[in-house]
Structure 1
């Protein structure tokens, strides 16, 4: 057990044999009470308190002993680590692909470190997190940006719990209301819009529209396709990689969510891709895998390349392929009409046709079907009609529920 030491007084045996308290040489100087205890690692620890704080010292010792019994002990000295230092080490050791790491580093530098800075990790309380969230609102950051930043902070503080710097993650406190994402209601393109834009794209890149609208692939995934990814005979496309940017350099990497997936290959899309390969061929491109500095060099025969037979940068594709086609089709050049609109068209067409959310989610490469439902549920206009028809048949139509039950 630990004890509380009074450094201003000591007990000695008096002339009459009774104990008496006498002042020490430290009387009136510095912090009066020192809590001394043995930590779970076997080393002695201490914490000092000022005069008139005996109760606080006793309560601190009681809390330490309780935490030791429960297995919740946290070394107070570890919690003194500055937030910016711990966040930096977390960023280096947390598992990210390099393109993600670049974005996370930027967000931490711009929106976490300016607020928490050199503050000790253990000093970050639920009230501190609430103040930070208000500070973000004051900076005019969008709801979805605040959602991402909160996830970063919570991840950092969870690691602090795991490393024994703090006992609990203040982001998990009931008084902390996490930001909620705002999903805009998507307005999917019509078949006519897809057709007119496809016609406006140059012949060399027209199958990009086919694969986007017919297979739901992301732009980087389309630019990472190889002939071997297409099973033209059985009608499947395997999405194995994507071309993405890390800093200023292009790399190959796994698709989003870090897993390959198979999607049905419509016959018309297969024909368009085969015709493209016959006319333009595939060209070998070598890029690092994931990390532009340390990643191994990988060579892939790409279906879609630039005129110089290099991998296509998404920004270049937007400026030189997509935006001119939008203008030619007299469609507004805005974010909602980017190449990602083909992916939304794909999802909306399948859901409107009665395909299951689970299947669409799998083909889109979403990690959670619930996310697919949140994004695209409003694009299922036939759902109420189908529900009425199914329930009407189940309950017996004009005969009513009782008759239906009797039939069963």
Structure 2
């Protein structure tokens, strides 16, 4: 059974000798306690005989709560008896209900739990994701919460921090640029993923009873960047501003829907000219330090993508006199392209030359969206498009491209009308 008790650090029982010569212990009288209560700021003035005073009399907090938990005896000091009583009742209730948290753990700083959480990221998320989490932790989270004890992190204080992130006044540790307001998407990642992940770890470790982030509200995205669907003419205009190999990559992205990271990781042996398909088994990503690496495609699944036969001569030219393990798209000096380099040195220049650099939301990923648009316009069903594009589920495909499927509600009503019997 849970047990806690309160000890008076200043008063003790005294041994006195009775008239018959026997000895007994006597507790401090109510008058002594009342006198001490009236002189707490100057306890030496209290009318308490010396024999009833402990060696700690007048030093530090008067009351100590003791309790047994985790196989050990623990204690906490209080200056007021009322606070000691409240804490004692709370500890006993938490132990009985299984909610007990060692108060010492609540004094641990946030950085202690953040270090444990971040050290366990490797291998659980992709390197690029790990790198982003670590940057957000270093730049935004630790400057505000690093030295704060876990027990002092509340939903109210977190909500105030969110307001600072929105206004651009939150503490930060960035070495480049000035403090700035953050977009809702960035705030969600910092607060609801990184910060919450650290505190979830603390809850699982038994350092906290619950996660205060759960009750925090994050601003909603109000202005979204429009999804751009390019016409075949616009795709051709961009590709025409590139050399033949880079032009071939634009056409492949636009007419197969593969991602840019998947395209630059393709080998010549991934192309099956007889079946007119490409095997997507890897993608280019970055590790936690930002170095380019190759890993499994998004969602961890390989897939086979068909390509239009019009692309066949172009792809055959790329594989001519190349081995199966050679890259399909090669950098000017050989070897693989690096996505960021291709974007900045080739893609952006082509957009400028084609007069499309002012189109808001236009990116390399727009080529993938354009493929989906063309496929849906030509009658592709949801499940087929999901498999070709490598989405995790058909629901993701529907959510992403819901605006492209025609609204056939009136056709459904007409079809049902034929079966209505009145």
Match of 1:178 in 2: 218
Match of 2:301 in 1: 259
Moved more, 210-219 or 11-20: 11-20
Residues 26 and 314 (structure 1), Cα distance of their counterparts in 2 relative to 1, 3 Å cut: same
Q: Give TM-score scaled by structure 2 length.
A: 0.80
Match of 2:34 in 1: none
Distance in 2 separating the partners of 1:236 and 1:328: 32
Q: Report the Cα offset of residue 33 of structure 1.
A: 1.7
Q: Does 1:250 align with 2:292?
A: yes
Could you list the per-position Cα deviations for residues 104-136 of structure 1 after superposition, in whole angstroms to 9, with x for gaps in the alignment? 211111111111121012321111210111110
Match of 1:401 in 2: none
Match of 1:153 in 2: 195
Could you list the per-position Cα deviations for residues 264-302 of structure 1 after superposition, in whole angstroms to 9, with x for gaps in the alignment? 433334453233212x6358xxxxxxxxxxxxxxxx531
Q: 1:59 aligns with which of 73, 86, 95?
A: 86
Q: 2:156 aligns with which of 106, 113, 127?
A: 127
Match of 2:253 in 1: 212
Q: Does 1:46 align with 2:75?
A: yes
Residues 362 and 181 (structure 1), Cα distance of their counterparts in 2 relative to 1, 3 Å cut: farther
Match of 1:88 in 2: 115
Could you list the per-position Cα deviations for residues 294-343 of structure 1 after superposition, in whole angstroms to 9, with x for gaps in the alignment? xxxxxx53111112212111232123332332233222266733221101
Q: Gaps (5+ residues) in structure 1? A: 284-299, 397-403
5 Å-filtered alignment, 1:1-400, equals 1-12=3-14, 19-21=26-28, 22-39=52-69, 41-50=70-79, 52=80, 54-94=81-121, 95-139=124-168, 140-150=181-191, 151-173=193-215, 176-181=216-221, 183-246=224-287, 247=289, 249-278=291-320, 281=322, 300-332=325-357, 336-367=361-392, 369-380=394-405, 382=406, 384=407, 386-396=408-418
Q: For the aligned residues, what is the CA RMSD? A: 2.7
Distance in 2 separating the partners of 1:320 and 1:190: 23
Distance in 2 separating the partners of 1:117 and 1:389: 60
Could you list the per-position Cα deviations for residues 324-372 of structure 1 after superposition, in whole angstroms to 9, with x for gaps in the alignment? 3223322226673322110111222234444444543443334455554
The 8 Å contact of residues 185 and 375 in structure 1, kept in 2 or not, is answered as no
Q: Report the Cα offset of residue 172 of structure 1.
A: 1.0
The 8 Å contact of residues 147 and 181 in structure 1, kept in 2 or not, is answered as no
Q: Report the Cα offset of residue 31 of structure 1.
A: 1.4
Residues 348 and 58 (structure 1), Cα distance of their counterparts in 2 relative to 1, 3 Å cut: farther
Q: Report the Cα offset of residue 181 of structure 1.
A: 4.5
Distance in 2 separating the partners of 1:308 and 1:115: 46
Residues 314 and 13 (structure 1), Cα distance of their counterparts in 2 relative to 1, 3 Å cut: same
Moved more, 9-18 or 70-79: 9-18
The 8 Å contact of residues 147 and 180 in structure 1, kept in 2 or not, is answered as no
Distance in 1 separating the partners of 2:205 and 2:312: 52
Distance in 2 separating the partners of 1:181 and 1:259: 30
Total equivalences in the alignment = 375
The 8 Å contact of residues 227 and 366 in structure 2, kept in 1 or not, is answered as no
